[in-house]
Chain A
């Protein structure tokens, strides 16, 4: 088949398009299949962790003073008398349906807790992700365009420091400087006292406030969001800036850019269209990892800013050995992590036709 569009008939083009679409679909399906396998493996690991603990889970659930028959009943109910792999089967069947049991700390269904706390973390991570992508690519582009000039050097030093500084250190320093000394932004929680939270629709406070048309609450929620989100974003932001700078300055020396310049294509178009798209491929892959990484840094940052998210809930569960909650938190974060990775792969496949095609050819 002729591969150059100008030589193709309309029918050829239609078949080619259909073929490419099919390839993308099989690519996604294979990716999803692999993820399901990974998730199953992860569930085995989590189940393993929840069984490392010496002692009787049933006894721990009811407390030391409960009579023995209560414990025995619970043991039977929790299938603790059966072999481990049977227990795993029951556990997995429940987990798939979102039944993780009762949390020892909150005395509620773990699923309920997750539903309540997860949106807060998601809001934080999404905001941090936007900051990472936006500012990281912006800084990287500026740096690459002014390569080896002072602005490039400043960006490089700052991004190096950004990569090596852990999020919880940023959190403490931002809290101190912008929260306490300059008093620009609030430091604790999601909303100031005295404000009523908007009706829960998405669980994201800022979005809910906008949907309710309450600008005062929106502004207040946004102000609460900034410090923890920026603290979470700094590491990824610096990473994105470094990667974007590296690929862009590498691509800038390529022949096709010189050719475009020789053809008289405006510099703006070269930068924004022909250079940016291929240069973003590594950035997007890393951005996905960094976005998912914020979910792990959030464990400490939420603690510092007293942010009522799933990570703070998870930490409390871990400190009190609340196994049902621990398992649920890790599984939920694992699912998020895997879904993000699939999305990244699809975006990268869209940006980089070679990956789409080679994924197919390798079959």
Chain B
């Protein structure tokens, strides 16, 4: 007998074909661990993806720990210190201070909180219905169900999301919650369209056909056969979209329809600060760079995931 090497094979030694259940589970666990290890290795070979991951993790950590890591946590609220107002960046205030003396570094870090919250809430609201509609429409391709769902997405995709989101947010009360609702209403069609394309291909695959032949229920086919094969592109798109949703959110708060003062919203800070150009340039520029860094981080991460998961469809 040739010597079997490799950890996966060790479970096969002894009585071949009569692997005990416990061994089998151990084997599965081990192969899963190895897959993760291999994926991480592949991911870590690309410095840009790693940079994206580092940026995202840093921002998340900063946002979560904002009250502990910022130099002046109380500056996140309605605090005033006119003696130290409009100071340019200096060792005490690395990003300078705003017109009423609040530390901009502190406010940018606190601004990450609502930005991330916006991204998470919108994606949580948007992905389930978007994916579900895409699955249903794609599986029933060519029927009236497909027509109705996809024509409706066409309508929402006919106008850039920012314009309709602005309009919806403007008729509601201006606050973070409503701006999330407005963006969510605009965002689901992208997932529907993505999953629709995937599903309409997958429904002709043999494993779907065989499940149909075996009499599997529609729910089983959609959620257990098709959906698992759509997960990679959906994940990749979510990572990329985190950046874009945050961007739209900051655009809404830029015009005053998102995060409300005195809470620090990145877009609000840019908009307010733009009035103090060029003399107090640091007031808008650092929050603006904050937005760029978030979008950059999620995009690098998303591109890395796309390569890793081979999700070219996104």
A330 and B255 contacting across the interface, CB-CB below 8 Å: no
Closest to A40 in B: B155
A38 and B292 contacting across the interface, CB-CB below 8 Å: no
Binds B, one of A157-165, A280-288, A347-355: A157-165
Within 8 Å by CB of A318, from B158, B255, B292, lies: B255
Cα–Cα, bound, A39→B247 (Å):
27
Q: How many residues of B contact A (CB 8 A)?
A: 42
A180 and B277 contacting across the interface, CB-CB below 8 Å: yes
Given A176-B278, A319-B255, are A41 and B151 neighbors across the interface (CB < 8 Å)?
yes
**B278: min CB distance to chain A, Å:** 3
Cα–Cα, bound, A180→B280 (Å):
12
Given A42-B155, A169-B291, are A333 and B171 neighbors across the interface (CB < 8 Å)?
no
Enumerate chain B residues within 8 angstroms of A330, measured Cβ to Cβ: 159, 163-164, 167
Closest to A183 in B: B278
Within 8 A of A (CB), among B221-242: none
1/0 contact string of B272-314 vs chain A (CB within 8 Å): 0010011001001100110110011001000000000000000
Within 8 Å by CB of A303, from B255, B278, B281, B285, lies: B255
Closest to B48 in A: A160
Enumerate chain B residues within 8 angstroms of A338, measured Cβ to Cβ: 158
A164 and B243 contacting across the interface, CB-CB below 8 Å: yes
1/0 contact string of A168-187 vs chain B (CB within 8 Å): 11001101100111000000
A85 interface residue, CB < 8 Å from B?
A: no
**B153: min CB distance to chain A, Å:** 10
Closest to A318 in B: B170
Enumerate chain A residues within 8 angstroms of B256, measured Cβ to Cβ: 319
Within 8 Å by CB of B284, from A164, A172, A295, lies: A172
Within 8 A of A (CB), among B130-170: 151-152, 154-156, 158-164, 166-170
Closest to B243 in A: A164
Within 8 Å by CB of B164, from A45, A168, A169, A304, lies: A45
- Report whether over half of chain B's contact residues are helix, strand or loop; otherwise say mixed: helix
Q: How many residues of A contact B (CB 8 A)?
A: 50
B108 interface residue, CB < 8 Å from A?
A: no
Binds B, one of A48-56, A62-70, A97-105, A138-146: A48-56
Enumerate chain B residues within 8 angstroms of A326, measured Cβ to Cβ: 167, 170-171
Cα–Cα, bound, A131→B89 (Å):
35
A300 and B254 contacting across the interface, CB-CB below 8 Å: yes
Cα–Cα, bound, A169→B292 (Å):
8
Cα–Cα, bound, A180→B279 (Å):
9
Given A41-B155, A164-B243, A176-B278, are A333 and B292 neighbors across the interface (CB < 8 Å)?
no
Within 8 Å by CB of B163, from A44, A166, A180, A333, lies: A333
Closest to B250 in A: A166
A299 and B163 contacting across the interface, CB-CB below 8 Å: yes
Cα–Cα, bound, A164→B169 (Å):
24
Task: List 30 interface pairs A-B (beta carbons < 8 Å), by A numbering.
Answer: A38-B155, A38-B158, A41-B151, A45-B156, A45-B164, A46-B167, A49-B164, A52-B172, A53-B171, A163-B299, A165-B292, A165-B295, A166-B250, A166-B291, A166-B292, A172-B270, A172-B288, A175-B278, A179-B278, A292-B160, A300-B254, A300-B255, A303-B255, A314-B166, A315-B255, A319-B256, A330-B164, A333-B159, A333-B163, A337-B158
| A residues apposed to B, CB below 8 Å | 34, 37-39, 41-42, 44-46, 49-50, 52-53, 160-161, 163-166, 168-169, 172-173, 175-176, 179-181, 292-293, 295-297, 299-300, 303-304, 314-315, 318-319, 321, 323, 326, 330, 333-334, 337-338, 341
